[in-house]
Structure 1
């Protein structure tokens, strides 16, 4: 078991830590990074596998400069294991909202989905999971944004290599500007 963690360390560093450090060193605003990370994870837990990259790409296209594309995509990547673990809670939330029947998760139902023999109940359960995600989405996004904002303020301050520009102050009427001119 310890050997598996040793092998995962370099992978984790290469796939998550290094890209995050690159993002932080480029000097993005903490508010934009917090929103983008929250958005990437919120879209990354969409309960249909394989769709999250498309959703994140669409959000980036729609939001443009209001989000930081690399952060959205990195957060989406990080959210993959969370996506798998939230499918059932989203399904159950959708069932509660609609008052629909409780879908039994069996290996037979999974096999029908994989072989394309999905019954009406399976399709209905997918719709319930989508509804559960849609209802939870604003809460997930808002909560993550609030949690991430102080984190990114600290991280940007610590890792940013961009030197902040000094505030531009207009010269007051009392300030005298003298230029030295050298005789050549």
Structure 2
């Protein structure tokens, strides 16, 4: 038995990520829609301001409607939370490079000011730099992930997918 199985990581991943996506696939979702939804969930999920990704995904789902799969967007958004946390500093540095400003010192004091709500102008500017870094990267990330996810979801839909219900074919209730 592996370490991750003993502490319950694999069952948790199975229940919270794999099973919901497989249910969507079994219900007959389209591979391109799933690929777009997964890419959108990851792209919005790595937005560098913690706690706002659920709102961003909700707005995107509301705006896109049936062009994306809400379950896939939200599950992937949830799954990439550790990646989001690890990309905050790279987005900050990328935004600083784009604007040509100096590096913001990442110190415990600056972090404490952000947490306590006493953020200075420099801290607020660093948040804007991180958002700018994400904004420039997001279209590239979305397009790259979409291209990577298309064959992945085609394989999964071919292997595990059900027959999609057609609006022209009535569903027979027994």
Name the CA distance, whole Å, in 1 between partners of 2:49 and 2:19: 28
Map 1:1-184; keep pairs closer than 5 Å.
2-6=2-6, 7-162=8-163
Report the secondary structure of 1:147's partner residue: helix
After superposition, give the CA deviation of every residue in 1:139-164 in whole Å (9 maximum; x if it has no partner): 00000000000000000011112268
- Counterpart contact for 2:110–2:123, Cα < 8 Å: yes
Report the secondary structure of 2:28's partner residue: coil
Name the CA distance, whole Å, in 2 between partners of 1:4 and 1:120: 43
Q: Give every structure 1 segment of 4 or more consecutive aligned residues whose post-TM-superposition deviation is greater than 4 Å.
A: none
Q: Computing the radius of gyration over CA atoms, which structure comes out larger, 1 or 2? A: 1
Are the structure 2 counterparts of residues 69 and 134 from structure 1 closer, same or farther at C-alpha, using a change threshold of 3 Å?
same
TM-score for both structures, normalised by structure 2: 0.90
**C-alpha displacement of 1:3:** 3.7
TM-score for both structures, normalised by structure 1: 0.86
State the superposition RMSD in angstroms: 1.3
**C-alpha displacement of 1:68:** 0.9
